[in-house]
């Protein structure tokens, strides 16, 4: 498999209702065990009641909160393990995409120009995602945007927000590998993809997931 043309994606700040709750958790506004009321979420962030309820529904599906049927409030249940599970799911989707491209698409995938790409919630709320995580997520979007867009929409922003530098500080996240090691692994992922080395890509991706594990 070889890489195709570079696709330039213009900056866009696209924020879904759940992103406000993600940022609240990342910044410590809502900590594990806190109760989040839909009406309070709507009032604090200028959302409609329907959008606030939809945000809680989406948060339940992502494992960020738990609630009883029929209630307009939820208990924050996010832990680093939740984000780790999301990372593993994203990695599996990336491997599947690479395998598919390797066997069926002689033109490879389009690599996204990272200088032009933005994470809506991260950018809007002034959060900073570590460089390696940002590049990794851009690579995920390049691989999955035309094959598994639902996975991209569901997982990329939560990982970007909850692995942000602010979330690391607030929740005491300590990744298994240092930033330089993680950056080298992600650059290796990009090179293996461009060179058509699918086996190396899978091995490096497994190593990167371990490097991002939380001690």
Query: Does residue 152 surpass a pLDDT of 90?
Result: no
Six token digits for residue 6: 């570079």
Query: Does residue 148 surpass a pLDDT of 80?
Result: no
**pLDDT attached to residue 125:** 86
User: Do 63 and 82 contact (CB within 8 A), yes or no?
Assistant: yes
Q: Which domains does the chain have, with CATH numbers?
A: 6-13+79-211 (no CATH), 17-76 (1.10.10.10)
What is this structure's pTM?
A: 0.84
Q: H helices of the chain, where?
A: 17-26, 38-45, 49-61, 80-104, 120-124, 131-144, 149-162, 165-171, 179-195, 198-211
The segment with the largest mean pLDDT, out of 44-58, 88-102, 147-161, is 44-58
Round the CA-based radius of gyration of the chain to a whole number and report it: 18
DSSP 195-215: HT-HHHHHHHHHHHHHHT-B-
Question: Which residues pair with residue 111 across a beta bridge?
Answer: 6
**pLDDT attached to residue 14:** 64
Give pLDDT tens digits for 42-93. Answer: 999 999 999 999 999 999 999 999 987 678 899 999 999 999 999 999 999 9
DSSP code, position 177: S
């Amino acid at each position: 498999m070889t890489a195709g043309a570079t696709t330039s994606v213009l900056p866009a700040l696209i924020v879904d209702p759940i992103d406000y709750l993600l940022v609240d958790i990342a910044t410590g506004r809502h900590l594990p065990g806190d109760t989040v009321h839909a009406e309070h979420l709507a009032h604090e962030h200028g959302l409609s009641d329907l959008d606030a309820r939809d945000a809680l529904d989406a948060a339940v599906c992502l494992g960020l909160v738990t609630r009883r049927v029929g209630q307009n409030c939820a208990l924050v249940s996010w832990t680093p393990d939740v984000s780790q599970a999301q990372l593993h799911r994203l990695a599996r989707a990336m491997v599947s995409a690479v395998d598919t491209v390797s066997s069926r698409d002689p033109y490879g995938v389009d690599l996204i120009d990272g200088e032009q790409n933005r994470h809506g919630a991260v950018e809007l709320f002034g959060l900073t995602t570590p460089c390696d995580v940002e590049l990794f997520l851009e690579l995920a979007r390049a691989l999955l945007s035309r094959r598994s867009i639902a996975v991209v929409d569901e997982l990329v922003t939560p990982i970007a927000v909850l692995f942000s530098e602010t979330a690391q500080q607030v929740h005491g996240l300590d990744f298994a590998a240092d930033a330089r090691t993680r950056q080298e692994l992600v650059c290796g992922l990009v090179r293996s993809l461009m060179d058509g080395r699918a086996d190396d890509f899978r091995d490096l991706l497994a190593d990167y997931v371990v490097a991002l594990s939380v001690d």
